[in-house]
Structure 1
Amino acid sequence: MFLSSDDHPLGLDVLFAKVVDLWTDSDHIRHALLSQHKSDDKATDLTALLLITMNYFPTPSPAHELALSTPFIQSISTYISHLDPSVRRCGMLVAEEVARASGKTLDFGEWEGDEQGKAWCKQLRELLRETDADVDNLPEDELEDNSQPEKRPPLVDIEESTPSNITIQAPASGYDSDDSLTGYASPTSSRSASPTPSELAEIERDPTLGVGIKKVPRPVYLAQLGELVRPTGGLQSGDEQNNATRIEVALEVAEELIRRKCGYGSELEENAINLVYGFIGLQDNYDLDDFSQKRQAALNALVACCPRKAAPTIIEQFFTTQYSTDQRFVMLNALGLGAQELASLPVPELTGRQPLLSEKIAFPSKQLPPSLHKKYLTTGDKLSTNNPIHLLLDGISQLAVEKSKDAAADKVPELVRERDLRIRRPAKVAEVSSSSSSARTALTKALKDTGSGHPQLTTFTEVAAEFFICPLINRFWLFLRDEQTREERTAHQPLLHRYRGAGNGLVLSALVLGRMLETLAVLVHVARNAREWLAVIAPDALELAITLGTRPISRGEGVDENDGPGREEKSSLPGESGSGKEAALLTAALELALIVLDGCLDLDGGRSLGLDHTALLMGSGEWAGKVFGSLEDGAKVLGGGGAQEMRLRRAAAAVVLKVDELTSKWRRSMVDMSVV
């Protein structure tokens, strides 16, 4: 596979040119599968072939010309903007290696860990380093034909400074593997020696050096916590050095203090909105340890402990234009994880640590010391992703797909009878005393009237429609109306002065909008037992999914900035001509529709959706069938490369099966839409 530059210089040049042309092709970057970018089974993949071929060139490496090539630089930006982390890291790896080969320094960071393509990148780096080492360690008789051996600095004369009883032998001439251990002469440095870690710790403990530094007290009340994260008096001169300590103390105690105040008095309700504003607006300007995890935990606690105040405030701030994409993701994660906690469902932990309340309640003898307990955590408990909503939605959609398989098996009587005999158990009958139940009801009413007893905890079904799902859907429609109105007002302006509502980092971008639909899907699934689910939540959520999956939300949707203004989109998916849906947005919309249809089948067999909202049901089936058929015909979806294509195909096929299952039950009772 590998060619020598001396034997086949022309063949190596042609191979490298072909690989570069294919690797920088925009269609390959967006639509190729992950196995075509990289593979873990030692098969031929394009990224490894590009780097290894470049590494086999002699000293005038083509990396210098490649680093200055315009198509290569544009392809790197396309790789970095890819939604699949593994494909994105392929472009980052090639950019770093090309910069290193051309004598420059480039480091994207975030290479720690073994997930999402990081392990494969490390293996490829080690392979490239081994290739360089093999070339550098050639014997001297082979190096004499090409160039003179490198001259070494003179050895230090240390015979005068050594004791007489120690004999030092001079190194033999020629190559020696221990030459790297030989000392060389170096000028004496005038700088003082660097302090040791123990000396640095002693200097830090010196009280005379901390004069003028204010110690931030730990807050006891939520008003004090709000003053730390959102000071009302403004920053005075000389207070900038204490900002890092102030934010660090606030993040350290925020989650515990919020949960401690839950259900006792009105202190939490009075300060919840101010705390939401403060924690949402925080930014990691001082590079604090575990900043993102602690801020996320504080917002999760606010949503779980005070949902009637925190959730509407977060939704209101989500549709403002003053926040970054990372801050919007934090808001959506807080809504989804807070709903999971209110519904008493398991919440994924990002940092691998146990929940706060479990650490406070657990008996000390049941755990190892803190250092050993952290050391022996299993790898399955540590999640290195910053998208817990995606993990929750993946499990929910997979469960809905498996239900479709079971429904297909229900049509065979033999399989149904065999499964009932193996799984179903007889129901147990228990006698309930009427006198005891009435006494318990009277006692509960008396406790509520007197205000004593334990605080009443809010369940998610009580607040799902009024404070979570309906405000999120309604505010999105208002925001979309305002954005489209602004686009229409500037449509007559030149292209440079036209307003675009779906740009990068905005709410209507595919990345943010797809995450919002994923969060809404989790909220809809968790609120399945709410009273308003069949009549309000299910049709509203399905209408939103169909609209975002079929209609353009912006004039610039589906137009790729790297392809130029004259290129038309190749996608033939539903939508207006010249526009195409991003794969992430289309997948999230289909998964939201799948969860709605699955919930309707479980609750009432699809009766309310099929009879009261027939148009929505038929529209979802037609939309999913069009998407699935287009994918089977080979249509390319914008941003559909990597693992995204598999999720898109699975979601479209599952929606088609769910619609077919629902319509087969209520087809005779549905209104004939062709007559209407």
Structure 2
Amino acid sequence: MDGLLTPVSTTYRAKDKAPLLEEVKPLRKDSKPDNSLNSPEDALEILRHEPGYQSLISVLQFLSRDQAGDGNAFNITKPSPLSAQLVQVLVSEIAPNYWTLLKEDSTSNKKRRSGFDLLLACLRSITAINAVLTRLRALIQEAKSDGAGKGKSDVSLNLGILLDLLCALLPGDDCVQQIWSSTIAGHQENPAKLRPLSQELLATFGSGRIISVTAEAEELAKNRRKADMDGNIDIWLADGSKYTQWLGRNIATLQSSEPSSEHKTKFASGLFAKALRLGYSDNLIKLTLSKLLLTKGADPERFALLLDDLPVMEQRKVLSSILKLFSQEYLDRLGSCESEGSSTLISAVTGALNSVVGFSDARKGHLVEWLTNSSGAGLGEGIGIRRAVLAALFQFTEKDYMTDVLEKSITQFGDQLYIKHSPTLQQEAHAQVLLLSAGYVYRRSPFKVASLLRRSVWMNAISNRLAATHQRARFLGMVVGEGLSALVEKDEKKRLNFQMDETNQTEGRWYKQLVHVSDQAGSIDPLIEPRRDTAPTRKANIQKPAKKPAPAPAPAIPKQPQQGFIIEELSDDEYEEDDDLVPYAKPDSDAEDSDDDPTLVTRNKPTAPVYIRDLIRYLRDIDNYDHQKLALTTAPTLIRRKASYGTEVAEHAEELASLLVGLQDKFEIDNFDDLRIQGMIALIAAQPKLMAPWFAKTFFDGDYSISQRASVLAVLGLSARELAGFETSTYSASASFPSKTLPDRIEQLWIGPNDKKQLEDQRMKSLKPLPPNALENVARDLVSDMLAPMAADAADSVAGPDVLKLSTFRSQLEGGNANAKVKYKTRTKPKIRSIPNTTAQLISVSFFSPLVARFQAALHSSSRTTRGVLFHPYLLGLYLKTLGLLVHAAGPSTLSLPEMTTELWGGLLLNTSIRAHAVGDLGVTQAILFALLALLDVNEDRMRDICRDMGREVVETQEWVATVFENTRGDGGGEENQVKMLSAAVLVRLREGIEKYQLLMVGDLIG
């Protein structure tokens, strides 16, 4: 072994030489005086050798001199090799070691510029931000690879420090502008260098890198931040919504800053395009629009320039979101736009749209497409946004956009497939566009409208409308025909007049007068003022009611002034004379005094709200248990009581509904969900025309959880059944005013005290909370009622299908009752319930149509969030069951039953996307079968018309249901057995109709 190692050379060191190991002392301020710090290289050398605190401050002051404006040639914020080295040392060594001292210095020294501010000034650059992100990634990998946990506390500590540093580097609304200015300084005239610098800035701020890295680092450093004194710092960079809002404010500041340049506008547009892909596009567009356009003193051209450099698809996305924003924030409150001041608000939106569109032909073409697209024109929105868009298009005179809108609208209006398959709500919106555009074209060129009405496309449109099987489609065809004919023909004898009462009623006259509506572009000031002044004014009006005159003070009783103390001795005889005085009985024990701690006893309990504004105030006070409980228990009764008295409910309905939908059970109140749902049902029962479409819109557009959206569907289904008379709310009886009841003294003459107490107890017992699956229970009861006659027929027929034999239905519907046979055999077919046409029309227009139309619009939406929520298995099944309940609640006497049947059967139940989700999911399959069974039950007397008009749908549905029946076992209990039973019932009814009316279906199937 000794021969393997051979020494190359031997050196002997003298004893007076320096030792091999020597203690190296850190470089302090005294070891290198300030006058020797003359270059950035000297600063880098000092930072690398662990400087003292004073030396560090001197170095930071030297590096930040250029930013102070003393003409130093070196700037640490500009990208360069030397600045990168300095930044790397500051991030990896200086910041972790001196972070606590620097923060203490910033809090103690307010007058001078502290070391903390100097450090941030040196690191506020794209190089420093990327260095912090790189260091965070390295620490994250180290923390993940450290399985044993050795050194994990140091890693967590450094992660927390770097997160705090990154949050401190990026505050304010001008941070991106400062970094952009320092990065491109000196490179404005050199595109070869400017382009890669801009791309690096876009990749850092717009790619979501900051959000992902900080979110992962925050999760790993969470334990350290909880134990640290400064652990309450909000890492807002890890929140996508907050980061997007910060980025939107910085984009607006960058775009509106002076001087304006082409390079800066392109960079702002690129950053805006990348920010749209972070997942919070609506909030970003709303914030940027308000900063650049809807603000006092803003330059409207800046927002249009921001959109000019975006790709065409991004421009279309932004413009669609802006139209939706204007409609929801300003124009939806106008209703039919007949309220006072509606023209001023529409003119303001028109002016804002002109500023947004600018001179872009692509955005003008998108407005035309939005108005004439099969799923466009603001489906479900008010007419105000359509009036504003048409008025904006009318201002562009370089091309006749209005004539294009009119021609495309007429072609679409008369298309047979469009008439048959489009939702009624969508056809109404396009009919309004057609009438409005015809009025604008006529005012500019009457000859064009007259010649257009003599073409075959117009004749075919009216003929197809009149030949439609849907009553609403015929109505729209008649009002459009009469409106345009009255516009062109001056002679009343030559005008088209169908002599129908419905076209001369209020709605028909409103449609026909749309050809005379003309809006102009106005100032955008009405869009700015409500955001700043309206809300505080309302609050002030609520909080400061009109003062009543103070009552006159009662006359004071003069008293003789006392001089000193008066002591009087009383004898016991005086007390003996008052033997007839009966002392007060000892009070019963108060449950409030049972607490050991007297501070927990609440003596000043709040009173129940008696006004809607008080109810809203209680619901907003989410930190007060008494207010929350009182508001929930009082809301159903108070809303129903105030429904027909005054305008309180109508004025505050939307605000109250939004509070109830988004309310959280913070205090675990008993029957919380039931009370919240009952309050929303009371709102719809009080204002059905206003609130039912609002809840349908909230289900699709609101930012709510799955359970909250499910409660919205339950509210719509249960309230529709209550309006139709199938359900009776126990709160409606207690909602009557005291003026409708007898006084207590008179009431006791007719009802004794004991009887009154028994009635009150009985009423309280009837107020049972709704179960979480209340809608499913109602659907299950309806299935039992609809299948009972079929079970009776099956009991009488020995050769009936196996699944419909008496034993099967006896076990399923009656739970194995031996007397079920007698019950089925003696049960007759239920009578058709006659519902007033007003109620049926209300359910169709306000409940059913908004839900179906918005679902079909969401099917064509490109938003992943909307489609993800929409096709959630539980929500999709509940949605289809709700539609089935609405059809059943409307009943067979509904005039719009053919339209409802076509929209639900042909538009949704045969949709490939819905059936794809039904594969493997019994809940969705059961919901589809329930909706089909409800449709067949309501259309029992219309089976001939269904087989004639919807022959293809009937055959296709029969094949699909037969497949479901064959592939479902249904041997045991549970959901499979329910699906088996429902599929058999639907299959039997379909086959009965096909066998009876198969001759009517042959022509349709052959054609």
TM-score with structure 2 length normalisation? Answer: 0.34
Higher relative contact order (CA 8 A, sep 6+): 1
Higher helix share: 2
